[in-house]
A and B are shown apart, each in its own frame.
Chain A
Amino acid sequence: MRTRKLTGFTFVIAVVLWTQAFTCSKHQVVATEHDFLIAVTAAQNVEIAEFQAGNVPPDLHKQIQGGFLKTGQIGEQVAKLLAANASNQTVLAQLTQVVASLQVLLDEGNLGIKNAATLAAYKASVQAAIDIVKNLATALGGTA
């Protein structure tokens, strides 16, 4: 009788912990996706402000905003996949594209932004977005 009680108790604890862990990990992934959006929005705003201040050449500005357009499209896709409870592998495939797209943005800034302060602010904001996406991939059990 005592063994049966103990088994039941252990089972209840295991079920509760498992469900809690699942709830937690899904929530963490969604929260990280939200951080990614915030970081990309911030990076885009930094670039627009620096362009308006005359610190980014017009051609480069268009190139970079083209990159933000692409990143925004993939970001929307990632959010839609998470909302639809897509498999981790499917989301990870999108995240790999996101990192590639953000890396292009970083490289373009490195090559074309001559103002040191502008470049530093831009690099920091894009790098923050890259780091968040990599964390998101880790939370999904992969790499990007």
Chain B
Amino acid sequence: MNPAQIIQILQILLVAEPEVVSAIHNLLTGASGKADTDLLNQDIIDWQTVQTKARAQLGL
């Protein structure tokens, strides 16, 4: 299979399935991974807020 044939197959897939377009886009750009990392980093801060609030209630 030559590169032109691979591209042709990918073109068929891209037209057929929007989810595939999205998945390939995510793979190429790392967008999904970055969004997850950003969310986890924010969640770490928010978990610390839960702790801070609990300590305040405990008078610590």
Contact = CB atoms under 8 A, between A and B. Distances in A.
Interface string B1-41: 10001100110010000011001101100001101110111
Interface residues of A, number: 37
Nearest to A11: B1
Contacts of B43: 33-34, 37, 75, 79
A68 B10 CA distance: 50
A73 B26 CA distance: 32
A81 to B, nearest CB: 10
Contacts of B49: 41
B39 A30 contact: yes
Contact of A37 (B6, B41, B46, B57): B46
Interface of A: 4-5, 8-9, 12-13, 16, 19-20, 23, 26-27, 30-31, 33-34, 37, 40-41, 44, 48, 51, 61-62, 65-66, 68-69, 71-73, 75-76, 79-80, 82-83
26 contacts: A4-B1, A12-B10, A20-B19, A20-B23, A23-B23, A23-B26, A23-B32, A26-B32, A27-B36, A30-B36, A34-B39, A37-B47, A40-B50, A41-B46, A44-B53, A48-B57, A61-B57, A65-B54, A65-B58, A66-B54, A72-B47, A72-B50, A72-B51, A76-B47, A76-B48, A83-B44
